[in-house]
């Protein structure tokens, strides 16, 4: 069985490290409503030349509405949209 190592912050939010094929790694929040998309900090996306293709509006569990950019990055040998 595959295992991942992550961390839990003071708010009891779980994070897992995600590595791009260029070797860069960032911790991503695990969301119970995970739909296959990952959210990276803008600074990480810019530093790794991640192409932004569009934006989308989301509603978080606590009803907070926000807009995030959508881009494409290669993660662990697969193409993932986030």
Question: 56-69: buried (b, 16+ CB within 10 Å) or exposed (e) per residue?
Answer: eeeeeeeeeeeeee
In a domain, 29, yes or no: yes
Could you give the number of structural domains in the chain? 1
Domain span at residue 57?
7-81
63 occurs within a structural domain = yes
Residue 65 domain-assigned?
yes
Examine residue 19 and state whether it is found in any structural domain, yes or no.
yes
- Domain membership of residue 46 (yes or no) is yes
Q: Is residue 2 part of a domain?
A: no
In tens, the pLDDT along 34-63 reads 666 777 778 888 898 888 888 888 787 778
Task: Decide if 1 is inside a domain.
Answer: no
Q: In terms of pTM, does the model score above 0.75?
A: no
């Amino acid at each position: 069985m595959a295992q991942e190592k992550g961390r839990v912050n003071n708010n009891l939010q779980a994070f897992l490290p995600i590595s791009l094929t260029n070797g860069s790694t960032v911790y991503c929040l695990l969301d119970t409503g995970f739909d296959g998309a990952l959210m990276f900090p803008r600074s990480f996306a810019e530093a790794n030349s991640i192409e932004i293709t569009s934006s989308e509006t989301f509603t978080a569990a606590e009803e907070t509405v926000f807009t995030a950019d959508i881009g494409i990055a290669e993660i662990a040998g697969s193409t993932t949209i986030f």
